[in-house]
Amino acid sequence: MFGVISAFIFVTAFSLAFGTIAYMLHAYKEKMLAALLMQPIPQGERETRILVQHRRGAAAGMSRRQHGASAARWPLALAA
């Protein structure tokens, strides 16, 4: 009896997997063909651009140590 139940579960799972694959192939047939027929994008030399922006104003002249020290001026109730 155990063999019959396990065979039934195996056949059911295999059928479900096969049905899912067949459904996906049928549903996305047009998209797969479009992707296969599209010409690949030529890979030229990559160009990397880096943009560095600096802050302007009063905070720009402060170092990180000075900027962190300004947080110590707040009351401890707000800092905690």
Q: Residue 80 has what pLDDT?
A: 46
Torsion 22-23-26-30 (CA) sign = negative
Question: 46-59: per-residue pLDDT in tens?
Answer: 788 888 887 776 55
Give the integer Cα–Cα distance in Å for 9 and 3. Answer: 10
List the domain range (segments joined by +) for residue 33.
1-37
Question: Does 71 reside within a domain?
Answer: no
Structural domain count, the chain: 1
* Averaged pLDDT, 2-6: 94
Q: Which residue has the higher pLDDT, 4 or 61?
A: 4
* Averaged pLDDT, 15-29: 95
Question: Does 70 reside within a domain?
Answer: no
Question: Does 45 reside within a domain?
Answer: no
For residue 63, name the pLDDT band (cuts at 50, 70, 90): low
Question: Is residue 19 scored above 60 in pLDDT?
Answer: yes
Question: Does 18 reside within a domain?
Answer: yes
Question: Does 66 reside within a domain?
Answer: no
29 burial via Cβ count (<10 Å: 0-12, 13-18, 19+): exposed
What is the pTM (predicted TM-score) of this model? 0.42
Whose tokens are 């962190």? That residue is: 68
DSSP state of 61: G
